[in-house]
Chains A and B, each alone.
Chain A
Amino acid sequence: MTLPADPQRDVAQELGAIDFTALFAAQVHDLKNLLFLVLNTLDETVSECSRGADTGKEAEGRLALLKYNGQLINDKLIQMLSLYRFNRGPYPVDIAYRPVADLIEEIVAEAKPLLAAKSITISGSVEPGLCWFFDRNLVAGAVNNAIHNALDCAGSQIRLGATIEDGYLALRVEDDGPGFPQEVLANGGSAESLNMSGNKTGLGLYFSSVCARLHTNGEKSGRIALGNGGGLGGAVFTLFLP
């Protein structure tokens, strides 16, 4: 009786080779910029309030933006913490048999308050009764990251879908934006693509890829795929889970 090969060990090896100090420094820079936006919006809101102006509609928009950026900071911090923890290992992957619809419902519910900041709609579709083995937090983390990317780029629509393809659960996030740039399509999500000097670290996609790979079933393990086109003509992020 033997257990399947240890996927966490492979991931851990790869993580071990990453210069986390440099990566996190770059990421902190990114976070600081986001925080600057948040503080700016707060300042505006405070001064509007003290002027006692009737700001119903505008305040609502600003609060939505605050919520959006706050959530973004939270999610990015969680990605950093998670990668740090995966690296320290062993990370308890909580694989359970769950309805995929529940997961999508939850992700859409979490995303809804963010949509108010942009005029974008989100919709999800799952085959009724579809269940799969997965770790809810890892999958939600990866999909939320894709939604954040989509919110940044989409024109007006984001679509979430779940299907079974070749014995994998395929969770897809599509948008109607300009699509992934060429270098991301080629390399996004790999350890090599991590960029410690520019303002786009690539940490989110790398985090998603690690979340995918922590899912294994026998010989098979999870992965992410990036493409352009799809039903909405924009970016297509797919998380494949064995």
Chain B
Amino acid sequence: MSEPINFQEKSFLVIDDGPGMRASLRTTISTLGGVRIDMAGNGIEAANRLEQRAYDIILCDYDLGGGKDGQQLLEEIKRRKLVKHASIFMMVTAEQSYEKVVSAVELAPDDYLIKPFTGEVLRLRLERLAQKKAYFSPVYDLMDRQDYRQAIQVCDELLKIPNQYLVDLIRMKAEIGMLLGDYVTAKALYEQVLAMREIPWARMGLAKSLFKQNNFNEAAEVFQQVTEASPNYMEAYDWLAKSYSATGDEKAAQQALMVATGKSPRMLQRRKLLGVTAYQNDDLETAQDAFEAVLEFGKNSALTSPEDYANLSRVFIDKGSCDQALSVMKTARKAFKNSPEVLLHGAVMDSLAYQKTGDTKAAEAELKKALEYFHDCDKNPGGVSLDIARACFQLGDEETGKGIVQDFIKNNHDDKKIHRHAEDMFRKIGLEDKGKEIIRDSSRVVIALNNQAVRMAQAGDLKGSVDLLMQAVSEYQGNTVIVLNAAHAILAYMQKQGWNEELSQSAKRYLATVKHLDPDNQKYLILSDLYRDVAQQYGFKV
């Protein structure tokens, strides 16, 4: 049973594209006693409101007119951390959107209500949610502070007394286990839920834990089961594709992505991945369709990047449609107002296009520009490296091309996917063997260096290990593995030898770098924990 809430104290945000519905919700909230009620007519307005202040209760309609739908808005504000754990996000849906709301299992709203509903039911639901939030608040607080171990302990305490949140608690423990890389425990917890009841998210969690233990074949089988039992569970298709990719079956991966895109055509990330996979499979028609759809659906939104245009241009170049390739990048330059990033992508793709038409002079001129932009940009340039390298190799400048690939691989020495993209690029320009050699050698350099540091640490030379890895960081700043290992070495050193202010600052900076590049990185989470432990060991409060 629920306990009353004082709605007068709560702040509400109502998000609905219909003024009539907004007014009606305002009336309903008023009858419950709510007075602090703000309104938003679409996703952008809602995000703006949420940037300015935190709301206790958000009522959001699933259908928000033309732009983002309620689920996309929820995902955006969760990603941007615009909602606190303690806030209530209630999705309101019409009958016809119900299936989509229920199927959005991964980043689910706290609850949903089907229109029409009475004020009384809204009150009951909100009261129960508030109660649930209060129950979980100690766990949320610890998770916000990234103190996951403690959070698990609190869950265990709460599980000692039988209660209605039993399944939620097990799920939360499993999710924390996944975050911390304890996949064996997570798998056991998901199996515990499945022993009670067949629930899609638990089956999904089980499959993810198998995937994370590199058990890709079995994972694919279980993801496949999820898609069969719950065909609208879109995330299952993405993971199914990932599992097939991991086993090297890119054709099956493409198939899974195509099924998913057919069901949910507006998901740009998935379309993009489909394009990339189809391109790798030399299925240029599907790749073109996918990349064109990304640009079409992403038009007038902040969801596309110059890279999306480059992807399409690359397909046109491979098809021999160089005019179209050039025109795509022309559009891109206009769309991104000649930003440094688009100029870089544009010059590279234009160079490749001219080279294909046989206009070597123009190709060389564009490549020269591209290389200048490339050296000027301070960000980790990502995929553009491979296009530049391709242009260099094709125009005969092997030295420069090789150097760029080497840097790229050294910064991603253990990223199998990136290695495959690089191999693929070499295959497409007929340098498969040479490419493999470059990739292998480059990643070996970093692996050797890393191993050397590990050996030094094992032999007791912790300082030597720290110095070596810090040197490596200055060389491969974009390599999160090396950056994290350096932080790890510093922490291990300080654990033994005492606090060192200068080193601790470096470790802190390294962790911040990774947090910026890859906030969900597991090792980062574990090291943040360790950092706190070491600081506490020497009496520092973090």
Contacts and interface: CB of A to CB of B under 8 A. Distances in A.
A114 to B, nearest CB: 11
Main secondary structure of the interface of A (DSSP, over half): mixed
Given A4-B198, A99-B164, A110 B95 contact: no
B68 interface: no
Interface size range of chain A in the complex: 20 to 34
A-B CB proximity, top 8 nearest? A97-B167, A92-B102, A109-B120, A99-B164, A133-B197, A94-B102, A131-B164, A92-B103
Interface in B144-184: 162-164, 166-168
Interface residues of B, number: 34
B164 A90 contact: no
A97 B164 contact: yes
7 contacts: A3-B198, A6-B229, A85-B99, A106-B121, A106-B125, A129-B164, A133-B197
A43 interface: no
A230 to B, nearest CB: 25
A196 to B, nearest CB: 24
Interface in A1-36: 1, 3-4, 6
B388 to A, nearest CB: 46
A97 to B, nearest CB: 4
A65 B69 CA distance: 37
B199 A96 contact: yes
Interface of B: 1-2, 95, 98-99, 102-103, 114, 116, 118, 120-121, 124-125, 128, 162-164, 166-168, 196-199, 203, 221-222, 225, 228-232
A169 B373 CA distance: 68
A200 to B, nearest CB: 25
A109 B118 contact: yes
Given A92-B230, A99-B164, A110 B196 contact: no
A110 B1 contact: no
A145 to B, nearest CB: 16
Contact of B124 (A95, A98, A109): A109
Contact of B116 (A74, A90, A99, A113): A74
Interface string A146-186: 00000000000000000000000000000000000000000
B198 A105 contact: no
B536 to A, nearest CB: 38
Contact of B99 (A74, A91, A129, A133): A91
Interface string A81-106: 10001000011101111110110011
A3 B95 contact: no
Residue from B99, B125, B203 whose CB has the most chain A CB atoms within 10 Å: B99
A217 interface: yes
Contact of A95 (B166, B197, B221): B197
Contacts of A74: 116
A183 B163 CA distance: 43
A119 interface: no
B128 A102 contact: yes
A94 B102 CA distance: 7
A92 B99 contact: yes
B166 A131 contact: yes
A216 B229 CA distance: 13
Given A6-B229, A94-B102, A131-B166, A106 B95 contact: no
Contacts of B164: 97-99, 129, 131
A105 B199 contact: no
A116 B535 CA distance: 66
Given A95-B199, A102-B124, A129-B164, 17 more contacts: A3-B203, A3-B225, A6-B229, A74-B116, A90-B230, A92-B99, A97-B167, A97-B168, A99-B164, A102-B2, A102-B128, A105-B2, A105-B124, A110-B120, A129-B162, A131-B164, A133-B197
Residue from B95, B164, B225, B229 whose CB has the most chain A CB atoms within 10 Å: B164
A3 B222 CA distance: 10
A39 interface: no
A78 interface: yes
Contacts of A105: 1-2, 124
B440 to A, nearest CB: 37
Nearest to A131: B164
Nearest to A89: B231
A218 to B, nearest CB: 8
Contact of B95 (A78, A90, A98, A99): A78
A40 interface: no
Nearest to A112: B120
Contacts of A99: 164
A125 interface: no
A109 B122 CA distance: 11
Nearest to B199: A95
Nearest to B167: A97
Contact of A90 (B2, B98, B232): B232
A43 B225 CA distance: 56
Contacts of A3: 198, 203, 225, 228-229
Contact of A97 (B1, B120, B125, B166): B166
B225 A1 contact: yes
